[in-house]
Amino acid sequence: MNKGVTTMTDEEQIRALIGDHFEPMRWGRNSAPDWDRFRKDFLSDGILCGAARPVQVRTLEAFIDRMENVARKNLHSFEEHTRGMKIMRFGNIAVVLAMSELTENGTEQNYDISGYLLVKSADRWSIAAHAWDQASGDNPVPGDLR
């Protein structure tokens, strides 16, 4: 083993993956999302299911296209940060619930809960599916995810 190289446990790898997942999706007046970095978190055929109902299952590329052609045109800035998570893991599969804080246009703050299905292959965890729902007064963030 090389000096200075540490091996992360599965839980540490999952926490790092989900904790950093939204960082490349940030944008502002003078910055753009890093979609190539964002894609690396997913299996190539991963799916995303947003909060809107009826549910619309989107491929990763369809989600990115929607963010580029709808969200970025309506929001001058966007950032999202994972603030809490719960992990259930068995072997090479894991399910994660995570709470995120979103800031839109620099001032509008919202929260959502994401559900992730993760798989491990070739010593690397990847997102197979990601679904989320918005928190609200009627649908508050659970205390154990704060």
Tens-place pLDDT, residues 78-111? 999 999 999 999 999 999 999 999 999 999 899 9
Residue 36 has pLDDT above 90, yes or no: yes
Q: In the sheet that 57-59 helps form, which strands lie side by side, from edge to edge?
A: 57-59, 42-49, 124-134, 108-121, 93-104, 78-90
Tens-place pLDDT, residues 109-142? 999 999 999 999 999 999 999 999 999 999 999 9
Residue 1 has pLDDT above 60, yes or no: no
Residue 3 has pLDDT above 60, yes or no: no
Q: Which of 5-9, 39-43, 101-105 has the lowest mean pLDDT?
A: 5-9
How does the average pLDDT of the chain come out, rounded? 94
Helix (H) or strand (E) holding 27: none
Region 65-69: what's the mean pLDDT?
Answer: 93
pLDDT at 2: 52
For residue 99 the two structure tokens come to 């709470």
The residue count of the chain comes to 146
Residue 12 has pLDDT above 60, yes or no: yes
Peptide bond before residue 54 is cis, with ω within 30 degrees of 0: yes
In the chain, beta strands by DSSP E: 42-49, 57-59, 78-90, 93-104, 108-121, 124-134
β partners of residue 90: 93
- Residue 18 CB contacts under 8 Å (≥ 6 apart), including other chains: 82, 85, 96, 98, 116
Q: Among residues 145, 138, 63, 42, which one has the least CA distance to residue 100?
A: 145
The CATH code of the domain at 10-139 is 3.10.450.50
Q: Where are the domains of the chain?
A: 10-139
- Do residues 126 and 43 touch, judged by C-beta distance below 8 A? yes
